[in-house]
Amino acid sequence: MNFFEHQAAARRGSGRLVLLFTLAVAGIVLAVDVVVLVLTGSVGATVAATFATLAVIGLGSLYRVASLRGGGAVVATQMGGTAVPEDTTDPALRRLRNVVEEVAIASGVPVPKLFVMENEAGINAFAAGYSTSDAAIAVTRGALDRLNRDELQGVIAHEFSHVLNGDMRLNIRLIGLLFGILMLSLIGQRVLIYGRLGRGRDGAPILIAALAAMAVGAIGVFFGRMIKAGVSRQRELLADASAVQFTRQTRGLAGALKKIGGLQAGSQLQDRADAEEVSHMLFGQGASLSGLFATHPPLVERIRRLEPGFDGRQLEALEARWRAAPPDGLAEDAALGLAARDAGGPPPLPSADAQVLLTPPMVASQVAAPAADDYRRAHALVGSLDGELRALARQRDVVMPLLVGLLLDADAAVVARQRSEIVARCGEAMAQQAFDLRRQHLAELHPALRLPLASLAFPVLRQRPRPELDAFLDTIEAMVLTDGRVSVFEYCLSKLLQVQVREALDPSRHTRFGRTKATGVRQEFATLLAVMAQAGHPDAPMQAQRAYLAGLQRVLPRDHLPYAPPAEGVQALDAVWGPLDALVPEAKEMLVEALVDAVSSDQRVSVAEAELLRTVCAVLHCPLPALLEQG
């Protein structure tokens, strides 16, 4: 199952979730109506109870959904997560950040926010958010302390599969919906706890009503657990498979699962209420639920899928060994030589004018499905960035001038006008800082490193206050338009920043499953293909036309839309993003393949063209690895 099939499955899952929620609500309302009718014998009271129950469930769901509007960071914070500083020097946290940064760059997405649940000794993790722009990954302190680097990488790769495949959106909506159907049970519990003040004769009816609410609410608890189990179990197996595909080794993920089974703390979370609410999102079983209510497949089954010959009795031996001497992840790194992995020099990057060979099916299969070679390339990209430059990308007071510096032009006259735009919106200090960074670090930066650098800087950027971000985005747009022409790179970087920052500022507004068919966006297809063809062959109109027709043949084979490169060049894409992002996953897959047909029609794809392709896919929420080449 590739990314687009996962997205289609997630969309169907969203529909099934609504259906199951409706059935659960109907069951709760019916139970309330029966109780009221038996107690009162009044049809009017029964009707009133129906509307009151629907109001309680609806308002509860709306309240919980509204409380999660802030996205992944809100969920992680509510679970007791502590943000991991970008410039941390703690060895365990630095290792976590290194792994996550490389996985993010290999996946072609912004680096997510990182959290640690410091008070949790069990080995667990989860990913939360509405989109890749507001994603957060949280791990327990037990995972940091007990897992070695390979095992931690396996867990993070598992969580990234949830980030990439649409599972996060489904999971965060599930929290909101389930809170509603649990409302009657919660109300009954609160009344019983705080109803002690009314234990006299007058308080008896209230306590009876509370008990009735809890009894009826048990139906909501039953349905809630069944829905979570049904949604979660198969997705966890798919995430395990995706993690193995990414790391190309089963040792790490299997090792993490064995440590869950062999350590006393397992994967259980201490806060049982919170653990049950997010149990469908966790890497391991976070609450004591089993059988039909289990949100994860049995641990031994998950290990056997990775190591077919595994005997469950081995967990008993591991438990006995680790009871006396619990594993230490960092010590294992040193013993296994994993710590040296970060110390070695990176392989060389391809030259700026290198050509790569791409095929449509190959690229479509790489969307949101990074493999081991993508991880190695991401390691090369991060390692090729100057250490001081990486440190600057993690500093709050430097991140905005650093990104501004990437867009400074080589022409002195244009640069003078750009400086005026920066000063007018963000002040002289930022302008000077951007120019200093350009001179010291950015002028000779390899083209393949520009977007990965922006990805590393993004977690710090989105922490800035909203007014500063608005001024920053206005500055970026003004700089791009200063000379009246927009280069492909200028457009790509500015558009990515616009999309990612806007989505991070208001994540719940920018998430949806597309429903538009390919036939509904013919002109948008034609515009995108024409811009791509023109960008790849700016001085060869005949070759550009052939590239355009090659892409059109794949996506709209029966249409005859003439090649008409827009006069405004790459800026014409502003009108196509909304309609194209609303496509059904199957149509997006065809579009990606059509774009590859266009850029590879002459059998030569430059690094710049591959980066443009990756940027277009990122804006359309089909993330590609940082470097596209056959590994």
Q: Which residues are catalytic?
A: 159
Task: Judge whether 603 and 565 are in contact, CB under 8 Å.
Answer: no
Q: Are 593 and 551 in contact (CB under 8 A)?
A: no
**Structural tokens at position 94:** 């630095």
Q: Are 567 and 483 in contact (CB under 8 A)?
A: no
The amino acid present at 170, given as its one-letter code, is: L
CA-to-CA separations, 182 to 218, 222, 223, 272, in angstroms, rounded: 8, 9, 9, 15
Kindly tell me the burial class for residue 27, based on how many C-beta atoms sit within 10 Å of its own C-beta (0-12, 13-18, 19 or more): middle
Mark out the alpha helices in 307-411 (DSSP H runs): 314-324, 329-336, 360-366, 372-384, 387-393, 399-406
User: What is the C-alpha separation between 273 and 531, in angstroms, rounded?
Assistant: 52
Q: Is beta strand 113-117 parallel, antiparallel or unpaired with respect to 82-83?
A: antiparallel
CA–CA dist 459, 457 (Å, integer): 6
CA neighbor of 364 nearest in space, from 500, 495, 555: 555
Distances in Å between the Cα of 505 and the Cα atoms of 393, 521, 601 are 20, 28, 39
Give the Cβ contact number of residue 152 at 10 Å: 28
Cα–Cα dist 350/194, whole Å: 68
Q: Which residue has the tokens 């302190």?
A: 141
Angle formed by the axes of helices 466-480 and 412-426, nearest 10°: 160
Helix axes 447-461, 399-406, angle to 10 degrees: 150
On whether the CB atoms of residues 501 and 462 are closer than 8 A, the answer is yes
At 158 the three-state DSSP class reads helix
- Between helix 167-181 and helix 3-40 the angle, nearest 10°, is 0
What's the rounded Cα separation, in Å, for the pair 108 and 156? 15
Angle formed at CA 590 by CA 587 and CA 591, multiple of 5 degrees: 85
- Secondary structure class of 386 (helix, strand, coil): coil
